């Protein structure tokens, strides 16, 4: 291949790399996705999957082109450096931890919700190698970072439109998330670009460019605060102060001293004002400021973080060298689950701390390799290159990034920016003799020039990439679209069960990492289908299909308590109580203190008529943490079924401040033991909350009839008729029966 052809390939690679920052704009099915992923519609977890498939597809195509260029010209191979070896070591350790971890399949593929795993780290490595191989001068890097800044500007405008109510906020009503779908992801993406803006604000000599960068910087900083991401905000503030101090130390000019004084003065003034006003309505009525005012060791989020970190440390001690494998924190979370975590989401898959996440994913070797990239990046900035501005800016950036990650975790966009910064630091440290102008016009590749082996190698590269494009991207992408279409069909009440079954069969037919999430969705659908107005034969068909799929899930994930929990719930729906209990025993072995497992075991025992054993199990779950409302209600239910109504009232009073609560299961328990006065009182609570619910009034009428209070029963039926006129004919028939002394 001629050197001109190789140069053209490299130009295409550079353009492709400069397009990659657009991944932050992509949400499956949105305007930008239609531009960069034409033909790809909505996907499951659209904020995650769209970005990741775009990144993987583009990287694989560019990597094939890069490999071709590197084969024909040695100039485009990566030059080794401490940073290069650190990145390579990190991916190498993750590869080993994937192979020897607890669930290699999940470690490699991850799932739609995260789309990380080893497969993403391999793509990040390919991306990093291309960056340091083809970006040979400052112009290349400037164009790349300018494209990132341009994307951050678009995202900032999007964020302001969310703030003004013109666009929907996806995560919550208060925290901006733009096209990232998560306020934390938005915050760290902007922080990277804010520091890039600072660097080029000083670096670019064009007045117009400086003015534009100053404007973008001015409007981006407030968005970070409006994400209300405390770790990111503290990281940004700390990074700004560190940058100011470093600038004075490294430059010592009057301009740097004035700038540093201004930055530190603003930070001190704002911090002082916050401290003085922290207990005022102004602070507590502002969601962002209130989150900072609420920081204390007793705050629920803070307490939960410390608890989860302790669980992660216990997991690390079990597998200290290579960890549990990427994406396997869920196994640690289940095994070392602490009952006081009940106010949080029930299934964590991250430790929310970069140290503990890496200890679980890759053990001590993984953590050391990851930290090595930071440390060697800082070493390179301070010892191997002479750009003082770069030293100050990127040292502060790495500090801000690490501070942010101490309380949350990485995602594709943050990894993308981190690897880019590492690549730039690698470039800064390259000797002048290796930069453009000092290279020969032509260098041989891996094989002698004109060797047929060069072309054979290129063919193998493209075959491998085509294989990867299909199995790594196209199949999972199609499965994700099929799963989302299935969920849409499920939301249509008139959609036939056969259609839904066909939808799920299509998803499972792709046989991708998305099958696990599809099985859980199918499990929930099958449980609800038992209440559908369809034939028993069809209900049984759906349930058996769901059980079959969840049994496969258990086989594929034998150490995941969550899979056993889903399967046991299906067994109970099908009346297979004994096998459900056996399955729950395995779940409890994997997660000894998970309250949901105790609740389901008690349900199974109640179904067998063993109320005494169920009561013992519910009491054990309740004693873990009596403040847990569900545990208290279930404890009361068990007490009622064992004729201990006084104890049930004592439990409810302790947790809710009332002897009765509006709970359907508790109501059913009182009905089973014939205590219809309590049933009446609970229905009255339901009606107090929803007075226009006609069915509640009908149910209360039935309870009054059980108590022999026929006049009150008639009154409640009349109330139901007034609320729902369509009930009139049937309601009047019931009233006539009651007045005649009969029991309708």
- pLDDT, residue 433, reads 52
- The pair of three-digit structure tokens given for residue 626, joined into one six-digit string: 């009596």
d(CA 308, CA 344): 11
Report the candidate in 206, 195, 277 with the shortest Cα–Cα distance to residue 237: 195
Residue 438 located in a structural domain: no
- The pair of three-digit structure tokens given for residue 194, joined into one six-digit string: 């804010």
Residue 181 located in a structural domain: no
- The pair of three-digit structure tokens given for residue 627, joined into one six-digit string: 């403040």
Residue 322 located in a structural domain: no
Q: Which positions ≥6 away from 54 have C-beta within 8 Å?
A: 22, 23, 26, 33, 36, 37
Same domain (yes/no): 573, 632: no
d(CA 224, CA 185): 10
Contact by Cβ (8 Å): 297, 303 = yes
Same domain (yes/no): 719, 744: yes
Residue 17 located in a structural domain: no
Q: pLDDT tens digits for 153-207? A: 999 999 999 999 999 998 776 789 999 999 999 999 999 999 999 999 998 888 9
Q: Which of 577, 604, 624 is the last residue of a domain?
A: 577
d(CA 69, CA 3): 9
- The pair of three-digit structure tokens given for residue 702, joined into one six-digit string: 């039935």
pTM above 0.75, yes or no: yes
Same domain (yes/no): 547, 636: no
- pLDDT, residue 439, reads 46
Q: Which of 613, 645, 661 is the last residue of a domain?
A: 661
Same domain (yes/no): 573, 606: no
- The pair of three-digit structure tokens given for residue 59, joined into one six-digit string: 């990287």
Contact by Cβ (8 Å): 404, 230 = no
The residues of the chain scoring below 70 in pLDDT are 173, 282, 296, 432-450
Residue 163 located in a structural domain: no
Contact by Cβ (8 Å): 126, 65 = no
Same domain (yes/no): 647, 701: no
Backbone angles phi, psi at 110, to 5 degrees: 65, -145
DSSP per position, 633-672: HHHHHHHHHTT-HHHHHHHHHHHHSSS----HHHHHHHHH
d(CA 246, CA 565): 54
d(CA 165, CA 173): 10
d(CA 113, CA 107): 14
Same domain (yes/no): 482, 558: yes
Rounded to the nearest 10 degrees, the angle between the axes of helix 664-672 and helix 629-641 is: 10
Unique residue bearing structure tokens 């950036």: 397
Q: What angle do CA 622, 623, 626 make, to 5 degrees?
A: 65
- pLDDT, residue 440, reads 43
Radius of gyration from C-alpha coordinates of the chain: 31
d(CA 495, CA 532): 11
Q: Which positions ≥6 away from 310 have C-beta within 8 Å?
A: 338
Same domain (yes/no): 743, 707: yes
Backbone angles phi, psi at 440, to 5 degrees: -70, 155
Report the candidate in 27, 211, 57 with the shortest Cα–Cα distance to residue 126: 57
Residue 219 located in a structural domain: no
Q: How crowded is residue 7: how many other Cβ atoms within 10 Å of its Cβ? A: 13
Report the candidate in 213, 75, 72 with the shortest Cα–Cα distance to residue 136: 75
Give the DSSP letter of residue 744: -
Same domain (yes/no): 636, 692: no
CA distances from 186 to 115, 139, 153, 247, 630 (A): 17, 27, 12, 27, 34
d(CA 476, CA 514): 7
CA distances from 545 to 166, 209, 549, 591 (A): 44, 62, 6, 26
Contact by Cβ (8 Å): 333, 311 = yes
Same domain (yes/no): 553, 489: yes
Same domain (yes/no): 475, 514: yes
d(CA 279, CA 302): 20
CATH number of the domain bearing residue 636: 1.25.40.10
- pLDDT, residue 386, reads 85
Number of residues assigned to the chain: 744
Q: Which positions ≥6 away from 739 have C-beta within 8 Å?
A: 710, 714
Domain of 535? 468-577
Residue 485 located in a structural domain: yes
d(CA 283, CA 296): 16
Contact by Cβ (8 Å): 367, 358 = yes
Q: Domain count of the chain?
A: 3
- pLDDT, residue 532, reads 84
d(CA 93, CA 319): 14
Residue 527 located in a structural domain: yes
Same domain (yes/no): 558, 474: yes
Classify 96 as helix, strand or coil. helix
Same domain (yes/no): 644, 703: no
């Amino acid at each position: 291949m001629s050197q001109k052809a190789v140069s053209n390939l490299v130009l295409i690679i550079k353009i492709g790399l400069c397009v990659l920052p657009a991944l932050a704009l992509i949400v499956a099915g949105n305007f930008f996705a239609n531009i960069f992923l034409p033909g790809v519609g909505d996907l499951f977890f659209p904020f995650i999957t769209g970005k990741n498939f775009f990144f993987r597809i583009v990287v694989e195509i560019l990597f094939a082109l890069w490999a071709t260029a590197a084969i024909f010209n040695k100039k485009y191979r990566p030059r080794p450096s401490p940073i290069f070896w650190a990145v390579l070591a990190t991916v190498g350790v993750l590869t080993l931890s994937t192979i020897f971890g607890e669930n290699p399949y999940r470690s490699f593929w991850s799932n739609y919700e995260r789309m990380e795993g080893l497969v993403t780290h391999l793509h990040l490595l390919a991306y990093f190698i291309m960056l340091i191989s083809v970006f040979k001068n400052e112009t290349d890097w400037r164009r790349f970072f300018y494209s990132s800044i341009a994307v951050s500007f678009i995202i900032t405008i999007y964020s302001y439109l969310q703030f003004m109510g013109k666009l929907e906020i996806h995560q919550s009503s208060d925290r901006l998330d733009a096209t990232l779908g998560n306020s934390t992801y938005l915050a760290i993406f902007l922080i990277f670009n804010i520091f890039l803006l600072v660097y080029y604000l000083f670096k670019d000599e064009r007045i117009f460019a400086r003015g534009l960068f100053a404007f973008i910087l001015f409007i981006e900083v407030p968005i970070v605060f409006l994400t209300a991401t405390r770790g990111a905000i503290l990281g940004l503030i700390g990074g700004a102060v560190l940058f100011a101090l470093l600038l004075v130390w490294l430059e010592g000019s009057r301009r740097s001293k004035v700038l540093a004084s201004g930055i530190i003065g603003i930070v001190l003034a704002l911090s002082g004002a916050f401290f003085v006003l922290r207990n005022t309505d102004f602070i507590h009525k502002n969601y962002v400021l209130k989150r900072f005012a609420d920081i204390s060791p007793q705050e629920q989020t803070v307490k939960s973080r410390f608890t989860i970190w302790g669980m992660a440390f216990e997991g690390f001690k079990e597998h200290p060298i290579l960890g549990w494998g990427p994406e396997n924190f869920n196994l640690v979370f289940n095994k070392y689950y602490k009952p006081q975590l009940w106010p949080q989401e029930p299934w964590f898959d991250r430790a929310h701390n970069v140290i503990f996440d890496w200890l679980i994913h890759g053990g001590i070797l993984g953590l050391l390799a990851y930290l090595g990239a930071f440390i060697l990046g800082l070493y390179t900035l301070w010892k191997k290159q002479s750009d003082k501005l770069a030293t100050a800016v990127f040292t502060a950036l790495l500090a801000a990034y690490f501070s942010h990650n101490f309380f949350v975790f990485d995602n594709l966009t943050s990894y993308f920016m981190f690897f880019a910064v590492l690549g730039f630091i690698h470039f800064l440290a390259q000797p002048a003799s290796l930069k453009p102008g000092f290279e020969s016009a032509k260098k041989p590749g891996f094989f002698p020039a004109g060797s047929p082996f060069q072309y054979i190698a290129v063919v193998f590269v493209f075959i491998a990439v085509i294989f990867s494009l299909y199995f790594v991207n196209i199949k999972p992408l199609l499965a994700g679209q099929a799963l989302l279409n299935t969920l849409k069909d499920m939301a249509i009440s008139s959609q036939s069960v056969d259609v839904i079954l066909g939808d799920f069969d299509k998803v499972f037919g792709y046989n991708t990492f998305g099958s696990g999430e599809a099985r859980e969705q199918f499990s929930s659908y099958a449980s609800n289908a038992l209440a559908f107005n369809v034939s028993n034969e069809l209900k049984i068909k759906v349930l058996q299909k769901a059980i079959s799929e969840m049994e496969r899930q258990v086989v594929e994930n034998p150490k995941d308590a969550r899979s056993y929990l889903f399967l046991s719930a299906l067994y109970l729906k099908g009346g297979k109580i004994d096998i459900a209990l056996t399955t729950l025993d395995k779940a409890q072995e994997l997660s000894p203190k998970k309250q949901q497992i105790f609740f389901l075991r008690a349900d199974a025992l109640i179904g067998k008529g063993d109320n005494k054993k169920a009561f013992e199990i519910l009491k054990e779950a309740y004693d873990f943490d009596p403040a847990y409302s569900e545990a208290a209600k279930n404890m009361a239910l068990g007490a009622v079924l064992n004729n201990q109504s006084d104890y049930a009232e004592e439990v409810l009073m302790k947790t809710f401040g009332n002897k009765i609560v509006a709970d359907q299961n508790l109501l059913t328990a009182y009905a089973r033991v014939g205590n219809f006065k309590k049933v009446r009182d609970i229905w009255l609570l339901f009606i107090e909350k929803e007075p226009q619910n006609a069915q509640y009034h009908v149910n209360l009428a039935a309870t009054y009839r059980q108590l022999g209070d026929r006049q009150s029963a008639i009154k409640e039926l009349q109330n139901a008729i007034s609320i729902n006129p369509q009930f009139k004919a049937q309601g009047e028939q019931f009233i006539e029966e009651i007045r005649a002394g009969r029991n309708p």
